Amino acid sequence: MSSEAFPAAPRIAVCIGRFQPVTRRHLFLIEAALAAYDRVIVLCAGAAQPRDPANAWSSAQRLAMLAACVPDPRCRVLEVADCWYEDGRWAARVEALVADAC
């Protein structure tokens, strides 16, 4: 059988950050991923955290900033909650979000 009989799976990039706020460097990274991959999943960390001096924007505000800055339909912006001192739990949460988005 030829390789044309089985289409290649889409190539997907995952970008994770707090985006406090969204910067030009963040946008450069996301745009580079969009140029190199079929789809990009952007995970905004720190979901459901209250605003404080270190985290000046709510997760809803950061999601809105990202959506406004990256209107490409191949880019999906999601939020992921922190799991302080539980790296395995956080990694499992990220894997589940990515699997659901795919």
State the pLDDT at residue 46: 87
Torsion sign over Cα 60, 15, 25, 68: negative
Q: What is the pLDDT of residues 3-13, one digit of tens each?
A: 566 667 779 99
- Per-residue pLDDT band at 1 (split at 50, 70, 90): low
pLDDT digits (tens, 9 = 90+) for 84-96: 888 899 899 999 9
CA angle 23, 94, 32 (to 5 degrees): 40
Residue 39 near residue 76, CB atoms below 8 Å? yes
Q: What is the pLDDT of residues 11-70, one digit of tens each?
A: 999 999 999 889 999 999 999 999 999 999 999 998 888 888 878 899 899 999 999 999
pTM of the full structure: 0.84
pLDDT in the model for residue 83: 84
Got the DSSP string for 2-52?
-GGGSPPPPPEEEEEE--SS--HHHHHHHHHHHHHSSEEEEEEESTTPPP-
In one letter, which amino acid is 76? R
